């Protein structure tokens, strides 16, 4: 009898076990849900219904996405013998719906549902921030939530009639849902529908900045715009509600304390943000020193004033006058009527627009103003006021009244108001309310100048032969406003005589109307060579023969005493001054004659010039 080799027996046993294992594995593979050939009646599929075929009417198959999302969806046939259960109770095929979680027992090949158990949907928790309500107005029917993990896409959750809402542990309504709310939602089904929405109490937002707008701009504002202190941040519009509280320096106030420019700290909640508390900083005070240039209204009690600050290039500022504005002058309380055009004031003001708290008014004194005339009122006839644009940039024009007592000066001579023209440069002193000029100094207008000798003169005309070679005589009209000078002294027409050398100024717009006539003076210095009657012959420093004509009006000086023509003898050093004779460049009609070198300023100046010329000549 043959015996088995133990090793062979052992190998056979192992081979048998391997084959058995292989067949077992094959049986499991044949029972897989992916392929339902020769499927066993106890095969079960769990998942969610993603499709019903056909989509309308009685479905004959359904598509299920298994719970393991890594596995492919499966198509399962439905037959007339398929049993449907929901909550332990038999139901019909009509209970099947997209999104329903199901447990299906399969049988047959191809796989056919023996039993379909429709399970209660598992709740889904969604936490995040509300980014949209649909519709945006009225009662929302869905809410879009951005989960806290920003990498997770937003979730849309339907809101049903039986959805419950809670806030702060209390039942509330859908009205508590606003864009920006932090929520936690319990939902289920497809589409995802909320069973309960827990709305977190809104966190307050704090805004520090400056009020740049109130809406509406008049009346009780319902919102304000705040520019945060960080200028890189955009302005924020905040709603003002009936329950908003207002404080200034810790004291309860009303919405009327809010003004443009107020510094505020606002605590707000919700979307759009609504103010709970508005803390208004006490307005900062500022001071203005300057001159009142306008009162509004111009008559009656003023409600605002315009002030030009003292500092150079100061910009005129409008300051409101309120019922609580205090006025002080000379240490005593006064009223707003003490404010006048030209008043020098120191104003303590605050707010926007700037409103005066206290105005210190200096005792009135004359105001000086320099500038250019920009308007005369009325434009024709005798003006009763003048508008002056002050010298310097950014200063407002000033209107000054012209009264019957106003004095007008031009070239050191008194003139009439007719000399005041648009474009004139003026320097005036004024005071009172309204500001009224006391003296107006008018600069001489830019003129056309003619130099020549007088050939004829009457009370109304002056004929001058210009010194320019070949020039024709010019006849100038003389009027009551024409001014006359003899040298640098103010004179009258009597100082102008035939043969005088004159300088005549006329406006470019009226070249033959004399503005002023100046009789030119010339000095002669030298030694007397002879005296014949009223003619003194003089030899000048450089040997030139000069002639001095004297009249009964000529004044003589000898040292520090008065003298006469008899003191003028040949060999005597003299100096004389007076208008030059027409066409005779070396002859004058003397108004003054100095005899000798003592107390003789003209001789001193001439000697200095002579010595300078000698030094230059010998270099």
DSSP letter string, 201-227: PPPPEEEEEEEEEEESSSSS-SEEEEE
Kindly report whether the peptide bond that precedes residue 54 is cis, defined as omega within 30 degrees of 0.
yes
Domain ranges of the chain: 43-118, 124-199, 205-280, 286-361, 367-442, 447-519, 522-616
Minimal CA–CA distance to 51: which of 62, 38, 37?
Answer: 62
Mean local confidence (pLDDT), 209-215? 88
Categorize the per-residue pLDDT at 328 as very low, low, confident or very high, splitting at 50, 70 and 90.
very high
What pLDDT is attached to residue 394?
60
> Architecture of 522-616 per CATH?
Beta Barrel (2.40)
User: What are the φ/ψ torsions at residue 129 (nearest 5 degrees)?
Assistant: -120, 135
Both tokens of residue 358? Answer: 């206290």
Categorize the per-residue pLDDT at 217 as very low, low, confident or very high, splitting at 50, 70 and 90.
confident
Domains 124-199 and 286-361 share a fold: yes
* Positive/negative CA dihedral, 390, 392, 395, 396: positive
CATH superfamily for 205-280 is Nucleic acid-binding proteins (2.40.50.140)
Kindly report whether the peptide bond that precedes residue 434 is cis, defined as omega within 30 degrees of 0.
yes
Mean local confidence (pLDDT), 408-432? 86
CATH class (in words) of the domain with range 43-118: mainly beta
Higher-pLDDT residue of 606, 205? 205
Both tokens of residue 231? Answer: 């200028």
Average pLDDT of every residue of the chain: 82
pLDDT, tens digit, 9 for 90 and up, residues 237-273: 999 988 899 998 888 999 988 887 788 999 988 767 8
Mean local confidence (pLDDT), 278-294? 85
What pLDDT is attached to residue 596?
85
pLDDT-wise least confident of 33-47, 208-222, 235-249, 498-512? 33-47
CA distances from 567 to 48, 545, 593, 610 (A): 144, 20, 11, 25
Contact 288, 309 (CB under 8 A): yes
What pLDDT is attached to residue 316?
84
pLDDT, tens digit, 9 for 90 and up, residues 103-154: 999 988 888 999 999 887 778 888 988 889 999 888 999 999 998 888 888 8
Q: Provide the phi-psi class of 596: left if phi over 0, else alpha when psi is between -120 and 50, else beta.
A: left
Mean local confidence (pLDDT), 212-218? 88
| Cα 305 from Cα 319, distance rounded (Å) | 5
What pLDDT is attached to residue 141?
93
- Stated as kind and residue range, the H or E segment containing 144 is strand 142-147
pLDDT, tens digit, 9 for 90 and up, residues 567-593: 999 999 899 888 776 555 678 888 889
pTM of the shown model: 0.33
What pLDDT is attached to residue 411?
76
For domain 367-442, give the CATH number: 2.40.50
Q: Does domain 286-361 have CATH number 3.30.1560?
A: no
Mean local confidence (pLDDT), 306-319? 80
pLDDT above 70 for 366: yes
What pLDDT is attached to residue 9?
43
Contact 209, 264 (CB under 8 A): yes
| Cα 549 from Cα 536, distance rounded (Å) | 6
- Stated as kind and residue range, the H or E segment containing 605 is helix 601-618
- Stated as kind and residue range, the H or E segment containing 75 is strand 74-77
CA dihedral 410, 411, 414, 416 (to 10 degrees): -30
What pLDDT is attached to residue 42?
55
pLDDT, tens digit, 9 for 90 and up, residues 546-568: 999 999 888 898 888 889 999 99
For domain 447-519, give the CATH number: 2.40.50
| Cα 290 from Cα 552, distance rounded (Å) | 58
Give percent of the chain with pLDDT exceeding 90. 29
pLDDT, tens digit, 9 for 90 and up, residues 143-198: 999 988 888 888 999 999 999 999 878 899 998 888 878 899 998 877 788 989 99
User: What are the φ/ψ torsions at residue 311 (nearest 5 degrees)?
Assistant: -60, 150
| Cα 156 from Cα 141, distance rounded (Å) | 10
Q: Does domain 124-199 have CATH number 2.60.120?
A: no
């Amino acid at each position: 009898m043959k015996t088995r080799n133990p090793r062979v027996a052992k190998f056979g046993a192992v081979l048998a076990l391997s084959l058995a294992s292989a067949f077992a594995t094959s049986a499991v593979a044949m029972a897989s849900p992916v392929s339902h050939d020769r499927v066993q009646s106890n095969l079960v599929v769990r998942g969610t219904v993603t499709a019903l075929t056909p989509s309308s009417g009685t479905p004959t198959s359904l598509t299920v996405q298994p719970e393991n999302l890594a596995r492919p969806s499966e198509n399962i046939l439905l037959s007339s013998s398929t049993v449907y259960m929901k909550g332990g109770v038999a139901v019909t095929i009509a209970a099947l719906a997209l999104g329903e979680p199901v447990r299906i027992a399969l049988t047959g090949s191809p796989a056919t549902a023996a039993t379909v158990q429709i399970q209660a949907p598992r709740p889904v928790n969604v936490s995040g921030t509300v980014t949209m309500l649909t519709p945006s107005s009225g009662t929302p029917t869905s809410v879009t939530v951005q989960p806290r993990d920003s990498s997770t896409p937003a979730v849309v959750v339907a809101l049903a009639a039986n959805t419950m809402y809670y806030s702060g542990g209390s039942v509330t309504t859908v009205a508590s849902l606003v864009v920006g709310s932090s929520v936690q939602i319990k939902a289920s089904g497809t589409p995802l529908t909320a069973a309960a929405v827990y709305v977190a109490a809104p966190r307050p937002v704090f805004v520090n900045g400056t009020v740049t707008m109130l809406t509406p701009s008049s009346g009780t504002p319902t919102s304000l715009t705040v520019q945060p202190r960080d200028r890189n941040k955009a302005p924020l519009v905040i709603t003002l509600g009936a329950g908003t509280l207002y404080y200034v320096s810790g004291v309860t106030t009303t919405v009327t304390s809010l003004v443009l420019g107020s510094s505020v700290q606002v605590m707000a909640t919700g979307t759009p943000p609504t103010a709970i508390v508005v803390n208004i900083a006490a307005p900062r005070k500022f001071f203005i020193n300057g001159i009142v240039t306008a009162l509004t209204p111009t008559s009656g009690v003023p409600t605002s004033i315009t002030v030009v600050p003292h500092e150079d290039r100061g910009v005129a500022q409008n300051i409101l006058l309120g019922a609580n504005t205090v006025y002080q002058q000379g240490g005593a309380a006064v009223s707003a009527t003490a404010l006048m055009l030209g008043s020098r004031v120191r104003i303590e003001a605050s707010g926007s627009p700037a409103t005066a708290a206290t105005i210190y008014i200096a005792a009135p004194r004359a105001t000086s103003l320099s500038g250019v005339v920009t308007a005369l009122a009325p434009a024709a006839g005798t003006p009763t006021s003048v508008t002056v644009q002050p010298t310097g940039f950014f200063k407002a024009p000033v209107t000054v009244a012209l009264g019957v007592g106003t004095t007008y000066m031009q070239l050191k001579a008194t003139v009439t108001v007719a000399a005041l023209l648009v474009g004139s440069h003026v320097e005036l002193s004024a005071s009172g309310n309204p500001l009224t000029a006391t003296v107006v100094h008018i600069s001489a207008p830019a003129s056309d100048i003619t130099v020549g000798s007088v050939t004829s003169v009457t009370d109304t005309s002056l004929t001058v032969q210009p010194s320019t070679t070949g020039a024709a005589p010019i006849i100038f009209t003389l009027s009551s406003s024409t001014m006359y000078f003899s040298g640098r002294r103010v004179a009258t027409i009597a100082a102008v005589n035939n043969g005088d050398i004159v300088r005549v100024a006329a406006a470019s717009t009226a070249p033959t109307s004399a503005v002023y006539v100046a009789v030119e003076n010339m000095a002669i210095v030298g030694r007397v060579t002879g005296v014949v009657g009223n003619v003194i012959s003089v030899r000048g420093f450089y040997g030139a023969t000069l002639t001095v004509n004297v009249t009964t009006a000529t004044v003589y000086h000898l040292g520090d005493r008065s003298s006469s023509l008899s003191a003028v003898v040949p060999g005597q050093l003299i100096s004389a001054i007076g208008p030059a004779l027409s066409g005779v460049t070396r002859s004058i009609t003397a108004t003054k004659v100095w005899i000798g070198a003592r107390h003789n300023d003209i001789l001193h100046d001439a000697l200095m010039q002579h010595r300078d010329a000698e030094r230059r000549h010998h270099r």
